[in-house]
Amino acid sequence: MAKPIAIDLSQEKATQIVQEAMQQFDLEVDLLINNAASYIYAPFEQSELLKNHQMIMLNVVAMVDLTDAFIPAMLARGTGAILNVGAQGAFSPMPYLSVYAATKAFILWFSEALWVEYRDRGIRVMALCPGATRTPLLIPLRVFSFHSFIHNTRKVKEGYSGSHFGAIQSSPHPAFADANAPLFKLAQRGWG
């Protein structure tokens, strides 16, 4: 049974509050979906340091902390799944989104390492790396076509279905698919 827990994951000790709420409701985590994210679109020198720190706390630290909090119980049960939502920004630098892209690269490599560590111990780990996806976070940029939003939203739903755990899911923006075909083919590999 899912229970919503409203908390600002960019703040210190957020994971501790989540764990306390889980204990209060007597809930276990079978599937951890780390999907929270923020970004700053600006030249690096114009982005506020505090906002960059908050983005790193949300996009990286909260994901690591939540994963650390729930893996022991998954290991004890011998089963569980972790879905970390990255982005196409994980595969190449993104001017004006430099810190965001770096956090997404961290998500990708962290997920791949965990996949190797836990694949024989009953925990499935996947990094889902969609392209532009129609969300309130991205729409204000107005840089992608409606078609690409539909295409990538479908890919995100497919990734969430759980049928592809153990592979990195990547869906390039149609404008970049041909130019970066070898890169995206590599990104779609499975580990075994």
The residues carrying an active-site annotation are: 100
What are the angstrom distances between the C-alpha of 60 and each of 33, 128, 133, 148, 176? 13, 15, 20, 26, 26
Token readout for 18 is 């989540």
What SS3 state is found at 47?
A: coil
Which candidate, 85, 70, 90, 87, places its Cα nearest to that of 30?
A: 70
Which candidate, 53, 52, 16, 56, places its Cα nearest to that of 36?
A: 56
Cβ proximity of 34 and 66 under 8 Å: yes
User: Angle at which helices 98-118 and 49-56 pack, to 10 degrees?
Assistant: 20
Cβ-proximal residues to 22 (8 Å cutoff; 6+ apart), any chain: 5, 28, 29
Cβ proximity of 107 and 84 under 8 Å: yes
Which candidate, 53, 51, 33, 32, places its Cα nearest to that of 42?
A: 51
